[in-house]
Each structure stands twice: as C-alpha cells, then as structure tokens.
Amino acid sequence: MKKSLFVLSALAICFSAAAKLPALSDEAKAKAAEAAAKTAHGNKVADFQLCKSREKVAAHYYKTNGKGKAAPAATPACADPGAYKPAETTAAAPAAAPAAAPVGAKPAAAPAKKG
C-alpha cells in the first residue's frame, strides 16, 4: 500500500513538472531535427553494414557447404548511404546574421567596383 502511494505521488510530481515546461525555441527544434537526421543516417549505415556482412556470410556458406544446394532467392543489392550531409541552413543563416551583429557596430563597406 505504501509503495503504491509513493509511486502515485512521484508520478503526480513528475507530471506537474512536465506540464510547466516552456515550448521549444526554433533553435532547439532545429537541433532536434538535426539529431533526428543524424540518427536516421546512422541507421542507414548500420543497415548497409549488416547487408554487406550477410552477403559475405552467404557467399562463404555457398562456397564451403552449399555445393549442390539450390541457388538463393535474388535479394536487392545493398545501397550505400554515403557520407552524412547536414541539412542546408541557408534559410536560417540570413535571419540569424542581423541578430548576431552588435547594435553599435557599423556595417562593412561594400567593395569598390572596377570600371
């Protein structure tokens, strides 16, 4: 009985604390999206490595023990996901540039045109 009351009170405290959290900022949302993209790419790399290892094991099996056995069913080729490429931040860069400049700083002079 005491354990269940303790658990219920702990859950009530956790839920009340979670309800008071502020909404995520745009920067936090962008970081979360970037982390999700990195995780997705990591999963693709892991799938590719698993596919290659399965092909290697199957090739070794058919080379050593698979003589006289039926050929395996055709499977799709392993697709290499390539290197990770972060999402383009060109849309966010111009919006962040004016905010990053100090208030009292003068803008850089444009280079003179050659005539």
- pLDDT block averages, 10 residues each, the chain of length 115: 75 68 90 95 96 91 80 83 78 48 50 54
Assigned token pair, 68:
């006289």
Biggest distance spanned by C-alpha atoms of the chain: 89
**What is the structure's pLDDT at 115?**
45
Beta strand residue intervals within 1-115, DSSP E:
none
Q: Are 38 and 84 in contact (CB under 8 A)?
A: yes
**What is the structure's pLDDT at 24?**
87
Q: How far apart are CA 6 and CA 23, in angstroms?
A: 29
Q: What number of helices (H) and strands (E) belong to the chain?
A: 3, 0
**What is the structure's pLDDT at 100?**
47
Q: How far apart are CA 46 and CA 104, in angstroms?
A: 50
**What is the structure's pLDDT at 54?**
92
